[in-house]
Structure 1
């Protein structure tokens, strides 16, 4: 397993980790297989989506804030209940194909660590089999 260290600098943001994941795959990949990209944090998610236009990330975060507002009378008293729910909605991992020893993504796709309770240091785990 490869552990990628990233650091968010805002409460909510989508951090593009595509190149770090590609590098991890190249170091450990079989010719054909599956790459699991996961995060161990309960207030983060992993998603694959368009990486070319940053407005996609802006729109995604904005609409998640509308769907799950930060201050909505949650029972959990740490002030980050919305972060937990956003992470649950997106999920903590993505599985991607590996072919020819290379990560396979669509033309516009990128891999994002979605931070919902930053800023703070985070990890992305990459496992290839």
Structure 2
């Protein structure tokens, strides 16, 4: 089964915790054992698993990506002004695979699943969640 989540973002660069949404998909499917694949359907928004306890981690994460890929429109030959967003997404990746055990996402104590917006704000960012049962 594939479920598509739709998320509106509010900032140019933003990290949004989607762990609860993904767990809800697992719950609706009554999935006990297996994996979920979480995938962004955009070239300027990625998916990562990262720290979910300290909000400063998200700020540091975005700041460091900006240092590596500065937002400079003058460098964009394709004219959209978002080359940095494409590079950030390629670095972070567009998907994550998470094990499901006993009906729960198998994440560490401090881990969460995040949509990483790099070209916002945007309406209707789509994230697909594919459940693969192994029980």
- Specify if TM > 0.5: yes
1:1-129 matches, within 5 Å, as 1-71=2-72, 73-121=75-123, 122-129=125-132
Q: Which moved more, 1:55-64 or 1:100-109?
A: 100-109
TM-score (norm 1): 0.96
Unpaired runs of 5+ in structure 1? none
Displacement of 1:76: 2.2
Task: Could you tell me which runs of 5 or more consecutive residues in structure 2 were left unpaired when the two chains were aligned.
Answer: none
**Greater Cα offset, 108-117 or 96-105:** 96-105
Q: Distance in 1 between matches of 2:62 and 2:30?
A: 32
Regions of 4+ moved over 4 Å? none
Report the 3-state secondary structure (helix = DSSP H, G, I; strand = E; otherwise coil) of the residue aligned with 1:41: coil
Once the two structures are TM-superposed, the CA of residue 75 in structure 1 deviates from its matched residue by 1.9
Partner-residue secondary structure (3-state), 1:97: strand
Instruction: Give the superposed CA RMSD.
Output: 1.1
